[in-house]
């Protein structure tokens, strides 16, 4: 009679213990759904059964008896589980602990749940001692009856093993949430490839072959998050051989950008193969970190996670950092150090005294996208596909400097000022983002008041200093690894008269010309740019940095018919010398300052950077290294549809209309020579001669060179802008 009652009482008490345990684990996040809740309740009940049966089995082995008095007291101990009903019903038990108790104990006893657990435990253990006493006083019998209790104990132990295994598998399945594919996200004003990672979710990073590098993770709140987090705790579980170790790193999140987190180098030995990543909004208890027993990922919070990015560690033989600056509209003929009679650029003149100065550098086209993509790839616009209304897409077999240097484990960053109220060009998705880990397109400008209703007002630049300050801060934060920084500065895009420029070269008592307005704007840009360069040169990192400063185009200051900027027109970008000739300064480690007058092309910049860094690209490039002796070579520029080509030799400029579309190579018009200039007479501003009549054979020879060039250039499958 007692055995069935014992089994009933044992089952009921096990059920109460299981449900109570499920309640506590559910509140801690270990029960994400009904199935795991059922597994938890059954598993805890099986643990209780196993312990209870093991106790009875031990008594049967040590003091075997056929008396039912031990079972009676065991049933009484099971009745102590009734205290748990008060806990499950949330019945408040008034309990005021003695004020002489320690504070931590008073705080502990303030909670009714813990009081119920204490009453259950104390009562249960006390009656268990009575059971032990009853067993010792009962008459002895054989031990054969213990076999049934052993079998029941083993069965409950199997139940524990099964339910715990299934529960852990269910939790892991919930924690290892499949992540979305990486896609571009703009946080603040900077783009990066990232993916959302939920709080408590696990993600495993493959670190094979990366432990010799600095490993960087970038974090940010998702855009337009209603309640963005200010801090997070990143848990890294490192797998090294058969060893696993966990580290928690606190992270203060930047509300307006990406926050970088570097995995400590001391955690990354040669045997590290993988790292499991997880974040929480609150710091985990130490026992959770040590045991790895974490709740399921049920939080709705998500952070953007970018990386891991592997960056080389700076050593003595590390290749130099690269800073490439393209100042839109910086005309060589208006730079004082390159021959301008006005002192427009005192700070750039100072740079010219310290750097290698190329006074005859020519752009492939007087357009920003064409010149910048040539700077970044080393190929002609006809090959990369950015020219006029044609804007790529960049062919996949052509790699940019950013891609090449990223393969060399450089940190790569671009500030392009590509998003303008009037015209977007170097924006994210245009192809210029290739290879850049971070890509900032903000153009610091504001609109003028609308003068004519319905007409878009001209954006007023706030100054290149805004972008330069961001660049300076970024450089200071990335001195421990080699970096590639690309800067495009847009303030001289359409030079205008602004109050913050002051009087400059505008003159007193006369109407300023377009050239006066340009020179005044240039002087202000020079001041801002010069201050930036002076700050950079004070940084120790500049000893390991190659600075390249050039322009995307100049302006046509000489030709009749030029639209006056003073009257609201735009600066003219033509195939004239003034629009195609730009300054080029290279300040490189271990290079003495010098001046070179040999004509060069912007196509030569990329091969020079690749030679300095040891990086490579798949596309064939010029073998010219600008820091070595430069052979005399033609420079060819282009513009328009139909396509016009202009060839610049040491003493001549020949411009020819091909009549062809740039990429489809369809005939749109007839061929014709456009211009034939003697550059010596041009520089001296002498009256032009009819060079076609005076040098017909030379004109024919130069035109043939342009025809051959056009035939030899690989043609991109570029598409016009919609």
pLDDT per position as a tens digit, 600-630: 999 999 999 999 999 999 988 988 889 888 8
Is 569 strand, coil or helix?
A: coil
Q: What are the tokens at 542?
A: 């500049």
Residue whose pair of structure tokens reads 């130490």 in the numeric block:
286
Question: Binning pLDDT at 50, 70 and 90, where does residue 107 land?
Answer: very low
Phi-psi group of 568: left, alpha or beta (phi > 0 → left; psi -120 to 50 → alpha; rest → beta): left
Question: Binning pLDDT at 50, 70 and 90, where does residue 588 land?
Answer: very high
Q: For 188, which DSSP code?
A: T
Is 474 strand, coil or helix?
A: helix
* pLDDT of 566: 41
* pLDDT of 239: 75
Count other Cβ atoms within 10 Å, centred on residue 685.
8
Produce one character per residue of 458-496: b if its CB has 16 or more CB atoms within 10 Å, e if not: bbebebbbbbbbbbbebbeebbebbbbbbbbbbbbbbbb
* pLDDT of 379: 94
- Residue 109 above 50 pLDDT? no
Q: Is residue 445 a contact partner of residue 421, using CB atoms and an 8 Å limit?
A: yes
Strand pairing partners for 412? 484
Handedness of CA 8, 14, 17, 23 (dihedral sign): negative
Q: What are the tokens at 621?
A: 């490039």
pLDDT per position as a tens digit, 499-543: 888 888 887 667 888 888 999 999 999 999 999 999 998 899 899
Question: Binning pLDDT at 50, 70 and 90, where does residue 103 land?
Answer: low
Residue 515 CA to residue 566 CA, distance in Å, equals 10
Q: Where are the alpha helices (DSSP H) in 400-491?
A: 401-407, 464-476
Is 240 strand, coil or helix?
A: strand
* pLDDT of 323: 97
pLDDT per position as a tens digit, 641-651: 899 999 999 89
Q: What are the tokens at 295?
A: 């709740």
Highest mean pLDDT (candidates 282-296, 454-468, 690-704): 690-704
pLDDT per position as a tens digit, 345-379: 999 999 999 999 999 999 999 999 999 999 999 99
- Residue 82 above 80 pLDDT? yes
Q: Is residue 674 a contact partner of residue 659, using CB atoms and an 8 Å limit?
A: no
Cα distance from N-terminal residue to C-terminal residue, the chain:
90
Least confident of 24-28, 250-254, 412-416, 484-488: 24-28
- Residue 297 above 90 pLDDT? no
Question: Binning pLDDT at 50, 70 and 90, where does residue 568 land?
Answer: very low
SS3 content of the chain, % helix, strand, coil (to 5): 40, 20, 40
Least confident of 33-42, 219-228, 554-563, 676-685: 554-563
Residue 24 CA to residue 41 CA, distance in Å, equals 11
pLDDT per position as a tens digit, 159-184: 888 888 887 777 666 666 666 778 99
pLDDT per position as a tens digit, 272-292: 777 888 888 887 666 666 666
Per-residue pLDDT averaged across 78-99, rounded?
Answer: 69
- Residue 194 above 60 pLDDT? yes
């Amino acid at each position: 009679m007692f055995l069935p009652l014992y089994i009933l009482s044992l089952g009921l008490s096990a059920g109460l213990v299981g449900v109570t345990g499920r309640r506590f684990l559910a509140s801690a996040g270990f029960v994400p759904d009904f199935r795991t809740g059922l597994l938890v309740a059954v598993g805890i009940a099986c643990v209780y059964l196993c312990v209870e049966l093991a106790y009875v089995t031990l008594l049967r082995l040590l003091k075997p008896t056929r008396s039912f008095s031990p079972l009676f007291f065991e049933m009484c101990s099971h009745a102590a589980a009734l205290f748990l009903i008060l806990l499950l019903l949330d019945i408040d038990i008034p309990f005021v602990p003695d004020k002489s108790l320690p504070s931590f104990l008073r705080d502990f006893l303030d909670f009714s749940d813990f009081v119920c657990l204490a009453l259950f435990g104390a009562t249960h253990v006390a009656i268990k001692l009575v059971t032990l006493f009853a067993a010792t006083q009962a008459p002895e019998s054989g031990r054969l009856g213990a076999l049934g209790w052993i079998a029941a104990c083993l069965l409950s132990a199997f139940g524990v093993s099964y339910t715990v295994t299934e529960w852990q598998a269910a939790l892991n399945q919930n924690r290892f949430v499949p992540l979305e594919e990486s896609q571009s996200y703009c946080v603040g004003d900077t783009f990066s490839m990232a993916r959302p990672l939920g709080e408590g979710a696990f993600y495993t990073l493959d670190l094979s072959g990366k432990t010799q590098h600095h490993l960087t993770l970038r974090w940010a709140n998702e855009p337009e998050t209603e309640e963005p987090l200010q801090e997070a705790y990143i848990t890294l579980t490192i797998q090294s051989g058969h060893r696993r170790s966990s580290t928690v790193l606190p992270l203060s999140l930047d509300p307006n950008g990406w926050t970088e987190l570097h995995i400590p180098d001391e955690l990354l030995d040669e045997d590290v193969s993988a790292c499991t990543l997880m974040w929480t909004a609150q710091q985990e208890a130490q026992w959770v970190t040590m045991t790895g027993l974490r709740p399921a990922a049920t939080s709705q919070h998500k952070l953007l996670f970018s990386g891991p990015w592997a960056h080389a560690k700076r050593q003595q033989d590390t290749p130099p950092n690269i800073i490439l600056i393209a100042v839109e509209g910086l005309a060589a003929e208006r730079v004082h150090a390159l021959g301008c009679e006005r002192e427009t650029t005192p700070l750039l003149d100072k740079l010219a005294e310290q750097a290698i100065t190329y006074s005859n550098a020519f752009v492939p086209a007087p357009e920003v996208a064409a010149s910048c993509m040539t700077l970044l790839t080393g190929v002609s616009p006809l090959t990369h596909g950015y020219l006029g209304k044609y804007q790529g897409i960049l062919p996949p077999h052509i790699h940019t400097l950013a891609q090449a240097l990223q393969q060399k484990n450089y940190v790569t960053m671009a500030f392009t000022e590509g998003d303008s109220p009037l015209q977007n060009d170097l924006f994210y998705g245009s192809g210029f983002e290739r290879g850049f880990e971070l890509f900032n397109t903000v153009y610091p400008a504001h609109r003028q008041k609308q003068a004519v209703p319905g007409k878009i007002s001209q954006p007023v630049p706030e100054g290149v200093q805004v972008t330069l300050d961001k660049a300076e801060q970024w450089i200071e934060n990335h001195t421990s690894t080699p970096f590639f920084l690309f800067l495009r500065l847009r303030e001289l895009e359409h030079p205008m008269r602004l109050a913050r420029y002051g009087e400059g070269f505008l003159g007193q008592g006369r109407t300023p010309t377009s050239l006066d307005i340009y020179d005044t704007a240039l002087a202000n840009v020079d001041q801002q740019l010069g201050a930036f360069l002076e700050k950079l040169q004070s940084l120790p990192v500049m000893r390991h940095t190659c600075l390249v400063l050039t322009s995307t185009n100049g302006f046509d200051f000489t030709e009749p018919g030029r639209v006056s900027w003073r009257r609201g027109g735009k600066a003219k970008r033509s195939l004239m010398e003034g629009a195609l000739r730009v300054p080029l300064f290279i300040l490189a480690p271990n290079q003495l300052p010098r001046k070179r007058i040999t004509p060069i092309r912007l196509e030569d910049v990329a091969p020079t950077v690749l030679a300095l860094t040891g990086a490579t690209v798949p596309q064939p490039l010029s073998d010219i290294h600008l820091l070595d002796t430069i052979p005399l070579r033609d420079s060819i520029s282009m513009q328009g549809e139909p396509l016009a080509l202009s060839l610049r030799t040491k003493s001549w400029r020949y411009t020819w209309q091909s009549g062809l579309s740039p990429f489809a190579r369809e005939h749109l018009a007839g061929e014709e020579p456009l211009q034939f200039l003697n550059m010596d007479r041009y520089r001296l501003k002498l009256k032009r001669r009819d060079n076609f009549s005076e040098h017909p054979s030379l004109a024919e020879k130069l035109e043939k060179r342009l025809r051959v060039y056009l035939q030899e250039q690989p043609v991109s499958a570029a598409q016009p802008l919609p």
